[in-house]
Structure 1
Amino acid sequence: MADQYKTLFLSDLHLHKDQPENARRFIQFLKSCDTTIDSVYILGDLFEVWIGDDDRTPFHLEIINALNTATKKGLKIFVMRGNRDFHLGTQFGKETGCQLLSDEEKIYLYGTPILLMHGDLLCTNDHAYLRMRRFLHNKIIRFIFLHLPLWLRRKITNKIRSTSTKHNQSTSLDMMDVEQNAVDSVMQKHAVNHLIHGHTHKQAIHEWNNKTRIVLPSWDHHPQVLEWKQDGTFNWIDC
């Protein structure tokens, strides 16, 4: 029997120059994708931090070149912005050959409608985070930030990350998890029975009322990808 076509999903790689092993693992993953792979979907936080497409560090260029090499060979790669790399822009897409996705992306996977999200918008009980997110995603704020010198952007980003770390340490895990009503609402909005997301790092497959929510793992803890086969079955693959 011929090999089935399949699609791969991953998120929360948090690639950073200080964690070269994850970068090496990701580059090797891209090289391992053969012609049976229809597409690769990266659902947010590919990078630990991204302060603009003009931040051309050697590490960033290494990842960009690896993505570009993969897409030039015919691999279709889709990238969703996460809470750590929401400044990924059109230049990144052009240089890598990747297609950037919206915050709520509905796809049809071998005939099955599926909603893709990063996952942070589902954490509706974390009001402080959502307020900060609305502020940082404001078009005017983003425009101003991206026109600041790189050194100042790094300084501001480090301050925000420090504040975020303190917030996470003082907020309950339940508060930072997805809220079921938010899940039900967005799945009803897009008329889907399947949702795939990351962000929470709580790898799991949740099933209820003929619906399925798949939570992708963080590569900081468990570097795996979700493999969805043409026949509708899916499983986890170690990287």
Structure 2
Amino acid sequence: MHAAAAGVIFGAMKPLVFESSPSPVLFIADLHLDPSRPAATRAFLRFLDTDASSATALFILGDLFEAWIGDDARPADDPVAPALAALSARGVPIYLMHGNRDFLIGDDFCHAAQATLLTEPTRVTIDNEPVLLEHGDALCTDDSAYQAFREQVRNRDWQATFLAQPIAKRIEQARTIRQRSGEAMAGKTARIMDANADAIDQRMRDWDVQHLIHGHTHRPALHQLTINGQPGTRTVLGDWFEQGSVLRIDHGVSTLETLRLER
């Protein structure tokens, strides 16, 4: 059964309510699709044609792309938006969330992909259970330098100024940002770059959920925890570098699966 209220690409969103019977609800994140990694793109397109083709819904929780400098810079031969639109045409609703690499995805891409852009975080209901969805970088509160950078680039004025520049200048600026980010990460511990336990607990309490799904950290796992004295679950989606990562919720059961990337 598909979403009882799938929402629209533009305008007010209705509550998102799903049943995973007879088809599962699927979640992916951190594909980091880029021309330099064609195996990941091939695996993603194959996934859309196979596993996702009969899903109740597909959620992409950020970093679909390695970098995104504006919808107007999307390559004319990009296969991703048409493939997503084809999946949507089969009756599978697609929901997209910004990541730290592709937070400039806008209405034009979502229209081309026939995908609904979600705010972050978003609360949905699956099999009568409230579930909270987000990319995950906002949970890494120990990394104060990154959080300051995140606040800067998520500012509407900053984004408008960046997008007003010529594409060539945006490419150069994005390259510089990625280089500085890589240098900064090299000097940080794994703990600092991981999601903070207190931030996780507070987020789940604030949204009154026992299940949180996110990506960003590239550390796929099903974590059992206690929220408000009750059993809870934090599901972390994996990246698509060495293998694909998919969360399948089927009849109320959550399963993290891996997909092979053919080189």
**If the TM-score is normalised by the length of the shorter chain, which range does it land in?**
over 0.9
Q: What is residue 117 of structure 2 aligned with on the other side? A: 100
Deviations 1:8-42, CA, capped at 9 Å, x for gaps:
01100000001000000000100114664100001
| Correspondence 1:50-69 to 2 at 5 A | 50-58=68-76, 61-69=78-86
| Structure 1 residue 222 corresponds to structure 2 residue 240 | no
Q: What is residue 208 of structure 2 aligned with on the other side? A: 191
Secondary structure of 1:13's counterpart equals: coil
Deviations 1:176-198, CA, capped at 9 Å, x for gaps:
00001100111011100000000
1-structure distance, mates of 2:23, 2:90: 17
| Structure 1 residue 145 corresponds to structure 2 residue 162 | yes
Secondary structure of 1:41's counterpart equals: strand
- Contact in 2 for aligned 1:4/1:36 (Cα 8 Å): no
> After the TM superposition, which parts of structure 1 deviate over 4 Å for at least 4 consecutive aligned residues?
none
1:159 to 168, 176, 184: 176
- Partner amino acid for 1:197? H
Instruction: Report the alpha carbon displacement of residue 62 of structure 1 after superposing the two structures with TM.
Output: 1.2
Instruction: Report the alpha carbon displacement of residue 224 of structure 1 after superposing the two structures with TM.
Output: 1.9
Instruction: Report the alpha carbon displacement of residue 235 of structure 1 after superposing the two structures with TM.
Output: 1.2
| Correspondence 1:58-137 to 2 at 5 A | 58=76, 61-137=78-154
* Gap regions ≥5 residues in structure 2: 1-20
2-structure distance, mates of 1:156, 1:212: 39
Corresponding residue pairs, total: 235
Secondary structure of 1:48's counterpart equals: coil
1-structure distance, mates of 2:199, 2:211: 14
* Gap regions ≥5 residues in structure 1: none
Deviations 1:199-218, CA, capped at 9 Å, x for gaps:
00011111022010000001
2-structure distance, mates of 1:57, 1:238: 29
Secondary structure of 1:45's counterpart equals: coil
1-structure distance, mates of 2:54, 2:111: 25
Q: What is residue 234 of structure 1 aligned with on the other side? A: 254
Query: Residues 35 and 173 from structure 1, CA distance in 2 versus in 1: closer, same or farther, beyond 3 angstroms?
Result: closer
Question: TM (normalized to structure 1)?
Answer: 0.95
Q: What is residue 11 of structure 1 aligned with on the other side? A: 29
- Contact in 1 for aligned 2:26/2:52 (Cα 8 Å): no
Instruction: Report the alpha carbon displacement of residue 4 of structure 1 after superposing the two structures with TM.
Output: 2.8
Question: TM (normalized to structure 2)?
Answer: 0.87
2-structure distance, mates of 1:237, 1:162: 32
Over aligned residue pairs, what C-alpha RMSD do you find?
Answer: 1.2
- Partner amino acid for 2:236? V
Q: What is residue 24 of structure 1 aligned with on the other side? A: 42
1-structure distance, mates of 2:239, 2:53: 26
Instruction: Report the alpha carbon displacement of residue 122 of structure 1 after superposing the two structures with TM.
Output: 0.2
Deviations 1:64-121, CA, capped at 9 Å, x for gaps:
1111111112111111100000000011111110001111010001211000010000
Over the matched positions of the two proteins, sequence identity in percent amounts to: 35
- Partner amino acid for 2:60? I
2-structure distance, mates of 1:176, 1:34: 31
1-structure distance, mates of 2:128, 2:196: 28
Instruction: Report the alpha carbon displacement of residue 56 of structure 1 after superposing the two structures with TM.
Output: 2.5
Q: What is residue 39 of structure 1 aligned with on the other side? A: 57
